[in-house]
């Protein structure tokens, strides 16, 4: 069974640009969540999607958005990039999400550098 | 804020057992305790989880205190490949916002 796939693996952008990251969950998983990881703040929850609907959102500005497609693949978008957006962006999938005993499966992440 | 507290770093010798502690004094009755680890240049991977009873799997054991205010992840025989950041998190019923703390960076000495 293929794992969680994130593309691209690395990305370099300049301030003011916008970026779209992609996440393909494990087949059959319907919940996809996104996290930002930086050395200073650690792993921070961005949002979670289930059946094409955003179910939960972390404390990030509106420049961060996402969506989920009918095949459960998800994308996240960051508009008007700032230097502080440089981070490793991770997505995780699970069968249903929201179940306290459910495992999360993470991708390897997209390393975004904003210059 | 993270609901768990872990030491910033720990060190262990190869082929010896490792006990990684986690405090979660505000845990509620329905919270599951999960452990994940993150190897260098990878996303976190699931290690183990439990509710009240001690749990064992091929990777590790989880010992949960009787009052559930703390738990310990046990790696029975550490190898160099176990060097990683270990995260202890609580999964709250109905709350999908999983909050990761800073975790414990485990160093394994050959």
Chain B residue with minimum CA distance to A100: B91
Nearest to A90 among B30, B43, B101 (CB): B43
The number of angstroms, rounded, from the C-alpha of A50 to the middle of its chain's C-alpha atoms is 13
The 10s digit of each residue's pLDDT in A85-103 is: 999 999 999 987 766 778 8
CA distance A1 to chain B (A): 16
> What is the distance between the alpha carbons of residues B27 and B92, in angstroms, rounded to a whole number?
9
Task: Kindly give the confidence (pLDDT) of every residue in chain B, 110 residues in length, as a single tens digit, with 9 standing for 90 and above.
Answer: 668 999 999 999 999 999 999 999 988 888 899 999 999 889 999 999 999 989 999 999 999 999 999 999 999 999 999 999 999 998 876 666 678 888 999 999 99
Phi–psi pair at A79, nearest 5 degrees: -100, 160
> What is the distance between the alpha carbons of residues B98 and B102, in angstroms, rounded to a whole number?
13
Task: Kindly give the confidence (pLDDT) of every residue in chain A, 115 residues in length, as a single tens digit, with 9 standing for 90 and above.
Answer: 689 999 999 999 999 999 999 999 999 999 999 999 999 888 999 999 999 999 889 999 999 999 999 999 999 999 999 999 999 999 999 987 766 778 899 999 999 999 9
Task: Identify the contact set of chain B against chain A, taking CB-CB distances under 8 A.
Answer: 30-32, 36, 41-46, 49, 51, 87, 91-103
């Amino acid at each position: 069974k293929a794992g969680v796939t994130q593309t691209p693996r690395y990305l370099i952008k300049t301030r003011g640009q916008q970026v779209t990251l992609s996440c393909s969950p494990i087949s059959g998983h319907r919940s996809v969540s996104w996290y930002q990881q930086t050395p200073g703040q650690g792993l921070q929850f961005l949002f979670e999607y289930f059946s094409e609907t955003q179910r939960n959102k972390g404390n990030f500005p509106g420049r961060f958005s996402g969506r989920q497609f009918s095949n459960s693949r998800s994308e996240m978008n960051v508009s008007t990039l700032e230097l502080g957006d440089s981070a490793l962006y991770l997505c995780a999938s699970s069968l249903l999400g929201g179940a306290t005993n459910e495992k999360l499966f993470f991708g390897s992440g997209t390393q975004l550098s904003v210059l | 804020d993270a609901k768990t507290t872990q030491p910033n770093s720990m060190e262990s010798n190869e082929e010896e057992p490792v006990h990684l502690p986690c405090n979660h004094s505000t845990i509620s009755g329905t919270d599951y305790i999960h452990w994940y680890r993150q190897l260098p240049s990878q996303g976190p991977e699931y290690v183990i989880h439990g509710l009240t009873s001690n749990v064992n799997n091929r990777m590790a054991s989880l010992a949960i205190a009787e009052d559930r205010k703390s738990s310990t992840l046990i790696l029975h025989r550490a190898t160099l490949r176990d060097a990683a950041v270990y995260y202890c998190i609580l999964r709250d019923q109905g709350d999908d916002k999983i909050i990761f703390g800073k975790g414990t960076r485990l160093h394994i000495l050959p």
